Amino acid sequence: MGALKLYGMRSAYDEIMGVAIKRQHEPPKIVGDLLSAEIAEKQARSIKYQLTIAKLPLAKDIEDFDFTGTPVNEPLIRDLAGGTFVADQRNVVLVGGTGTGKSHLAIAIARALIRNGARGRFFNVVDLVNRLETERPSVNGPASSATPR
Protein backbone atom coordinates (compact mmCIF):
# COMPACT_ATOMS: atom_id res chain seq x y z
CA MET A 1 0.00 0.00 0.00
CA GLY A 2 2.88 2.34 0.77
CA ALA A 3 4.51 1.66 -2.61
CA LEU A 4 1.23 2.55 -4.30
CA LYS A 5 0.87 5.66 -2.10
CA LEU A 6 -2.38 4.37 -0.61
CA TYR A 7 -1.73 6.05 2.73
CA GLY A 8 -5.37 6.15 3.80
CA MET A 9 -5.71 2.42 3.29
CA ARG A 10 -2.43 1.75 5.07
CA SER A 11 -3.35 3.79 8.13
CA ALA A 12 -6.83 2.24 8.39
CA TYR A 13 -5.83 -1.32 7.51
CA ASP A 14 -5.39 -2.74 11.03
CA GLU A 15 -8.67 -1.29 12.29
CA ILE A 16 -10.66 -2.34 9.22
CA MET A 17 -9.20 -5.86 9.25
CA GLY A 18 -9.80 -6.21 12.99
CA VAL A 19 -13.48 -5.31 12.58
CA ALA A 20 -13.78 -7.45 9.44
CA ILE A 21 -12.41 -10.54 11.15
CA LYS A 22 -14.53 -9.98 14.26
CA ARG A 23 -17.73 -9.48 12.25
CA GLN A 24 -16.81 -11.90 9.46
CA HIS A 25 -17.16 -9.36 6.65
CA GLU A 26 -17.05 -10.55 3.07
CA PRO A 27 -14.05 -9.51 0.91
CA PRO A 28 -16.06 -6.94 -1.13
CA LYS A 29 -17.05 -5.19 2.14
CA ILE A 30 -13.42 -5.13 3.30
CA VAL A 31 -12.21 -3.72 -0.03
CA GLY A 32 -15.01 -1.15 0.05
CA ASP A 33 -14.04 -0.04 3.56
CA LEU A 34 -10.39 0.25 2.54
CA LEU A 35 -11.32 2.30 -0.51
CA SER A 36 -13.53 4.56 1.60
CA ALA A 37 -10.64 5.15 3.99
CA GLU A 38 -8.38 6.03 1.06
CA ILE A 39 -10.91 8.46 -0.41
CA ALA A 40 -11.43 10.15 2.97
CA GLU A 41 -7.67 10.54 3.47
CA LYS A 42 -7.18 11.99 -0.03
CA GLN A 43 -10.00 14.49 0.51
CA ALA A 44 -8.55 15.56 3.86
CA ARG A 45 -5.09 15.97 2.32
CA SER A 46 -6.55 18.00 -0.57
CA ILE A 47 -8.41 20.33 1.81
CA LYS A 48 -5.27 20.81 3.89
CA TYR A 49 -3.27 21.63 0.75
CA GLN A 50 -5.90 24.07 -0.56
CA LEU A 51 -6.02 25.83 2.83
CA THR A 52 -2.23 26.16 2.70
CA ILE A 53 -2.07 27.65 -0.80
CA ALA A 54 -4.97 30.01 -0.04
CA LYS A 55 -2.51 31.80 2.31
CA LEU A 56 -5.20 32.72 4.78
CA PRO A 57 -3.52 34.82 7.49
CA LEU A 58 -5.49 33.29 10.37
CA ALA A 59 -7.73 30.32 11.05
CA LYS A 60 -11.17 31.90 11.47
CA ASP A 61 -14.54 30.23 11.23
CA ILE A 62 -18.09 31.56 11.15
CA GLU A 63 -18.84 29.84 14.46
CA ASP A 64 -16.10 31.99 16.06
CA PHE A 65 -17.76 35.26 14.96
CA ASP A 66 -20.01 37.00 17.48
CA PHE A 67 -22.98 38.34 15.52
CA THR A 68 -24.67 39.87 18.58
CA GLY A 69 -24.60 43.65 18.60
CA THR A 70 -23.37 43.92 15.01
CA PRO A 71 -25.24 44.96 11.88
CA VAL A 72 -23.85 41.89 10.09
CA ASN A 73 -26.56 39.80 8.44
CA GLU A 74 -25.89 36.32 9.87
CA PRO A 75 -28.20 34.40 7.50
CA LEU A 76 -26.55 36.10 4.52
CA ILE A 77 -23.06 35.21 5.77
CA ARG A 78 -24.08 31.59 6.30
CA ASP A 79 -25.59 31.56 2.80
CA LEU A 80 -22.34 32.94 1.36
CA ALA A 81 -20.42 30.17 3.14
CA GLY A 82 -22.61 27.70 1.24
CA GLY A 83 -21.02 28.89 -2.00
CA THR A 84 -24.00 29.63 -4.22
CA PHE A 85 -22.39 32.92 -5.25
CA VAL A 86 -19.37 30.97 -6.55
CA ALA A 87 -21.57 28.61 -8.55
CA ASP A 88 -23.43 31.64 -9.95
CA GLN A 89 -20.08 33.32 -10.78
CA ARG A 90 -20.87 36.36 -8.67
CA ASN A 91 -18.60 38.52 -6.54
CA VAL A 92 -18.90 39.42 -2.88
CA VAL A 93 -17.60 42.65 -1.42
CA LEU A 94 -17.52 43.14 2.35
CA VAL A 95 -17.72 46.80 3.32
CA GLY A 96 -17.34 48.29 6.78
CA GLY A 97 -15.14 50.23 9.10
CA THR A 98 -12.07 49.05 10.97
CA GLY A 99 -12.82 46.25 13.40
CA THR A 100 -16.20 45.29 11.99
CA GLY A 101 -15.15 41.73 11.13
CA LYS A 102 -14.66 41.93 7.36
CA SER A 103 -11.40 39.97 7.38
CA HIS A 104 -12.72 37.43 9.88
CA LEU A 105 -15.81 36.78 7.78
CA ALA A 106 -13.89 36.71 4.48
CA ILE A 107 -11.48 34.13 5.91
CA ALA A 108 -14.33 32.12 7.44
CA ILE A 109 -16.25 32.09 4.15
CA ALA A 110 -13.11 31.09 2.23
CA ARG A 111 -12.37 28.24 4.66
CA ALA A 112 -15.94 26.95 4.37
CA LEU A 113 -15.77 27.05 0.58
CA ILE A 114 -12.38 25.30 0.48
CA ARG A 115 -13.74 22.55 2.73
CA ASN A 116 -16.53 22.11 0.16
CA GLY A 117 -14.10 21.73 -2.74
CA ALA A 118 -13.55 25.29 -3.97
CA ARG A 119 -10.16 26.96 -4.30
CA GLY A 120 -9.27 30.42 -3.11
CA ARG A 121 -6.46 32.85 -2.40
CA PHE A 122 -6.30 35.59 0.24
CA PHE A 123 -4.85 39.01 -0.58
CA ASN A 124 -4.91 42.21 1.37
CA VAL A 125 -5.49 45.29 -0.76
CA VAL A 126 -1.95 46.68 -0.49
CA ASP A 127 -0.34 43.38 -1.55
CA LEU A 128 -2.83 42.92 -4.37
CA VAL A 129 -2.26 46.43 -5.77
CA ASN A 130 1.53 45.94 -5.56
CA ARG A 131 1.27 42.61 -7.34
CA LEU A 132 -0.94 44.07 -10.07
CA GLU A 133 1.48 46.98 -10.52
CA THR A 134 4.44 44.64 -11.02
CA GLU A 135 2.54 42.52 -13.54
CA ARG A 136 1.07 45.43 -15.51
CA PRO A 137 2.77 46.15 -18.83
CA SER A 138 4.29 49.56 -19.18
CA VAL A 139 2.04 52.22 -20.77
CA ASN A 140 4.80 53.27 -23.19
CA GLY A 141 5.80 49.72 -24.01
CA PRO A 142 9.07 48.11 -23.06
CA ALA A 143 11.98 50.43 -22.56
CA SER A 144 14.63 50.24 -25.25
CA SER A 145 17.67 52.15 -26.15
CA ALA A 146 19.00 52.49 -29.64
CA THR A 147 22.43 53.73 -30.42
CA PRO A 148 22.83 55.28 -33.89
CA ARG A 149 25.75 53.92 -35.92
DSSP secondary structure string, 69-121? Answer: TS---HHHHHHHHHTHHHHTT--------TTSSHHHHHHHHHHHHHHTT----
Residue 108 and residue 51: Cα distance in Å, rounded? 11
Range 57-136: architecture per CATH: 3-Layer(aba) Sandwich (3.40)
Residue 132 and residue 105: Cα distance in Å, rounded? 24
pLDDT of residue 149: 45
Q: How many helices (H) and strands (E) does the chain have?
A: 6, 0
pLDDT of residue 142: 55
Residue 53 and residue 117: Cα distance in Å, rounded? 14
Residue 47 and residue 111: Cα distance in Å, rounded? 9
Does residue 41 sit in helix, strand or coil?
A: helix
Question: Whose CA is closest to 65, among 113, 114, 116, 99?
Answer: 99
Question: Whose CA is closest to 74, among 109, 99, 41, 113?
Answer: 109
CATH 3.40.50.300 range(s) for the chain read: 57-136
pLDDT digit of tens for each residue in the chain (149 aa)? 889 999 999 999 999 999 999 999 999 999 999 999 999 999 999 999 999 999 999 889 999 999 998 889 999 999 999 999 998 999 988 888 888 899 899 999 999 999 998 998 888 888 888 988 998 876 555 554 444 44
Is residue 118 within 8 A of residue 47, CB to CB? The reply is no
